[in-house]
Amino acid sequence: MKVLFCLCAWLSALVILLIVAFLVTQSLPAFREIGISGLLLGEVWKPTQGLYGLLPMIAGTLAVTGLALLLGAPLGILTAMFMAYFCPIRLRRIMRTVISVMAGIPSVVYGFFGLTVMVPSIRMEFGGFGMCVLTAGVLLGIMIVPTIAELSLSSIENVPAFCYEGSLALGATKERSVFSSVLPAAKKGVATAVVLGLGRAVGETMAVMMVAGNQPVFPNSLLSGVRTLTANIALEMGYAADLHRQALIASAVVLLVMVLAIIALLMYIRRKDETHA
């Protein structure tokens, strides 16, 4: 069994390396012909005119993801804290089931909800077309709440009971004990939950593509249409050829680097926490 587990681990690593090698080799012609600065700092994406600037899509990805994290992370963490210490037992069971179901709902269902409910509502309340950064960010925030809540709840429940009980014994209120003793003790797991939620937000495609407007321009406000890197690949890969296709693969490399940066951040947080411990 030890040999079998070792082979499975190496097989997983090999698959990842093969994917990275494929993306890099297929995107090299685009990096050579267009240039790294031309791809990463180019402000216009018009493949028919030979312009392959990814900067608007990178900015759109960061804007949508940042807004989603700003909304989803506090909501997910507070939901986990409520379920762990303030929620009645019967309601806690129901909420666990609801959160698990929410985590398993396909992204296209979220996208359909955003398209039929959120887009008209935002258009009516704030103006514009409704397909914008705000809609995509709020929808992504809703989508990452179950991931952050589930992982944060597991971390909070694994905090030793003496942290909470000791705080109560010293005269702290229940709320202060949870926020000042339990949450700091679970910060490693909570940070992991937030980073994994961020990773899901960065890689989301279908839901964002349905509500963001898919305009390859810089987002100058929350109500402007935007296109993310993942949506750009999904929209154009079906008919792309030659340099156009290579530029799309290069954008996948950029997205991969962003995800690897998130993973590196997670590893840094864990290592820093272990060093201080």
- Contact assessment for residue 56 and residue 217, using Cβ atoms and an 8 Å cutoff: yes
User: Residue 75 pLDDT more than 90?
Assistant: yes
Tens of pLDDT, residues 158-168: 888 888 888 88
* pLDDT confidence band for 275 (50 / 70 / 90): low
Cβ atoms within 10 Å, residue 180: 14
Give the closest residue to 132 by CA, choosing from 214, 72, 207. 214
Architecture per CATH, domain 20-276, reads as: Orthogonal Bundle (1.10)
pLDDT at 276: 57
The DSSP H or E segment spanning 129 is none
User: Residue 74 pLDDT more than 90?
Assistant: yes
* pLDDT confidence band for 277 (50 / 70 / 90): low
Residue 22 φ then ψ, to 5°: -60, -45
Percent of the chain with pLDDT over 70: 98
Torsional class of 112: left (φ above 0), alpha (ψ -120 to 50), beta (otherwise): alpha
Tens of pLDDT, residues 194-250: 888 888 888 888 888 889 888 888 888 888 889 898 888 888 888 888 888 999 999
What is the average pLDDT value for the chain, to the nearest integer? 87
Tell me the β-bridge partners of 46: 51
The reported pTM is 0.85
Tens of pLDDT, residues 122-171: 999 887 888 889 999 999 999 999 999 999 998 898 888 888 888 888 88
Q: Rounded to an integer, what distance in angstroms lies between the CA atom of residue 247 and that of residue 269?
A: 33
Residue 100 φ then ψ, to 5°: -65, -40
User: Residue 49 pLDDT more than 80?
Assistant: yes
pLDDT at 273: 64
User: Residue 188 pLDDT more than 70?
Assistant: yes
Percent of the chain with pLDDT over 90: 22
Q: Could you say which DSSP state residue 47 is in?
A: G
* pLDDT confidence band for 32 (50 / 70 / 90): confident
- Contact assessment for residue 68 and residue 137, using Cβ atoms and an 8 Å cutoff: yes
pLDDT at 274: 64
- State the helix-helix crossing angle for 119-126 and 133-157, rounded to 10 degrees: 120
Cβ atoms within 10 Å, residue 213: 25
Q: Rounded to an integer, what distance in angstroms lies between the CA atom of residue 238 and that of residue 55?
A: 22
pLDDT at 103: 84
User: Residue 6 pLDDT more than 60?
Assistant: yes
Torsional class of 204: left (φ above 0), alpha (ψ -120 to 50), beta (otherwise): beta
